[in-house]
Amino acid sequence: MDRLDNTVRPYAWGSTTAIPKLLGVEPTGEPQAEMWMGAHPGAPSRTDRGTLVEVIDADPGRELGPRSVARFGPRLPFLLKILAAGAPLSLQVHPNLAQAKEGYEDEERRGIPVDAPHRNYKDANHKPELICALTEFDGLCGFRPPARTADLLDGLGVDSLKPYVDLLHAHPEEAALREVLTALLSADREEMAHTVAQAAVACARLGGDYAPYADIAHHYPGDPGVLAAMLLNHVRLQPGEALFLGAGIPHAYLSGLGVEIMANSDNVLRCGLTPKHVDVPELLRIVRFEAADPGVLRPEAAPDGEEVYETPTDEFRLSRHVLSEGAAAHDLSRATPQILLCTAGSVRAGEHELTPGRSVFVPAGEKAEVSGGGTLFRATVVA
């Protein structure tokens, strides 16, 4: 096993206290948004043998195992994170695999630099993801039924929202959602800022179901993404509950601390709540305009005390072990690569003592015995 030394990303929306509290260190006063565990070239984990990218590149077959290499190629197919949202993240959506390949190849043909601010596709991969709450965690996930959104908007008493209310009532579901999102993101920014300001005042006054949107408006005054956010289901996860975000599902994380795992991709199309590029035509091509229940996931029991968060993707598999002090060691050896992350208590993984926020990389086929009293998340692949 390799103990991992991981990079914390200081994005502006990050909490200043959540990750330091987990790690048991003093806050710096700066936002600490995400701690990355894996072999993403943007911030690879470091080991005594070099960065995890260097370790895997030196011998992909040994580190990843033949099954993973045959299925996903010579790279770690997932990225594990601790995510700490102190303010809402951008409203966003991810492409499916075919859309990602098509979009990437098109932008490559057009010679758009990968680091250009208006580039949509940084790679040719899709980006399904799963967020599991460590604390109470608020987010937005998927469209709510148009009639319910119409009632929510109507309840604000803002005259300039009446056309959107009428659209949501008048059309079939897909057409209603598409027309309203298109109208919100294509409208004159100055006029829309005035409408958003009126809606924000009403949300703050009404509270209740409107409270999350009042907070979003506080962080992003005048942003049309505030109204786009009101098209989506608000979800509050309790610790241990999770959300799976598949392709085309609009979503945003609002607040809380969680463990996030995703396919190893940077492809994001933004809908709002951001100063970054919003490509409305491409966004509308990717979004799935259908109302759906957010589908809160709870772990399913598996042998040896493992609790698995089942998802339809193969690039990652996230599970959890709640270990009891004095109990027999668990053998987590597996023919695929693993990252083991402690989030509570103290866990012994091989020769390494893991406290909250500490992690190890386990090469494919390597012995992986764990014991102790604490909570351990296990990230691997389905292959």
**Distance (Å, rounded) from C-alpha 361 to C-alpha 378?**
10
Residue 276 pLDDT grade (very low, low, confident, very high; cuts 50, 70, 90): confident
- In tens, the pLDDT along 213-248 reads 999 999 999 999 999 999 999 999 999 999 999 999
- How large is the average pLDDT for residues 359-369? 97
Compute how many other C-beta atoms are within 10 angstroms of the C-beta atom of residue 70.
Answer: 11
pLDDT score, position 305: 87
- Could you report the per-residue pLDDT of 331-344, keeping only the tens digit for each? 999 999 999 999 99
Question: What's the rounded mean pLDDT across residues 36-46?
Answer: 94
Which residues does 261 contact at the CB level (< 8 Å), separation at least 6? 78, 79, 80, 81, 129, 130, 316, 318, 379
pLDDT of 16 > 90? The answer is yes
pLDDT band at 105 (very low <50, low <70, confident <90, very high): very high
> pLDDT value at position 366?
96
pLDDT at 278: 87
CA pair distance 39, 375, nearest whole angstrom: 23
User: How high is the pLDDT of residue 135?
Assistant: 98
Please check the confidence at residue 131 and state whether its pLDDT lies above 90.
yes
What is the band of 258 on the pLDDT scale with cuts at 50, 70, 90?
A: very high
Q: Is 149 a residue whose pLDDT tops 80?
A: yes
Residue 56: is its pLDDT beyond 80?
yes
Q: Quick count: other Cβ atoms within 10 Å of Cβ 188?
A: 9
Asked whether residue 383 carries a pLDDT value surpassing 80, the answer given is no
Tokens of 189: 């920014």
pLDDT the model gives residue 324: 93
Eight-class DSSP state of 168:
H
3-state class of 322 per DSSP?
A: strand
DSSP string, 19-72: HHHHHT----SS-B-EEEES--TTS--EETTEEHHHHHHH-HHHHH-HHHHHHH
Average pLDDT, the chain: 95
pLDDT, average across residues 250-277? 92
Q: Which of 119, 270, 358, 378 is catalytic?
A: 270
Q: What is the pTM of this model?
A: 0.94
The alpha-carbon radius of gyration of the chain (Å, integer) is 22
Question: d(Cα 242, Cα 294) in Å, to the nearest integer?
Answer: 10
Residue 378 has pLDDT above 90, yes or no: yes
Q: What is the pLDDT of residues 286-295, one digit of tens each?
A: 999 999 999 9
- pLDDT tens readout for residues 65-102: 999 999 999 999 999 999 999 999 999 999 999 999 99
- pLDDT of residue 318 exceeding 80, the answer is yes
Which tokens is 223 given?
């942003």
Res. 156 pLDDT band, cuts 50 70 90? very high
Quick check: is 298 catalytic? Answer: no
Query: Span 303-326, mean pLDDT?
Result: 94
Span 182-191, pLDDT tens digits: 999 999 989 9
Contact yes or no for 348/371 (Cβ under 8 A): yes
**CB contact set of 316 (below 8 Å; sequence gap of 6+):** 77, 78, 128, 130, 261, 262, 263, 379, 380, 381, 382
Q: pLDDT exceeding 70 applies to what percent of the chain?
A: 100
Model confidence band, residue 115 (pLDDT cutoffs 50, 70, 90) = confident
CB burial of residue 143 (10 Å; 0-12, 13-18, 19+): buried
3-state DSSP assignment of residue 193: helix
User: What are the tokens at 321?
Assistant: 């072990």
| Residue-wise burial string across 339-366, b where 16 or more C-beta atoms lie within 10 A, e elsewhere | bbbbbbbbbbbbebebebbbbbbbbbeb
Q: State residue 10's pLDDT score.
A: 95
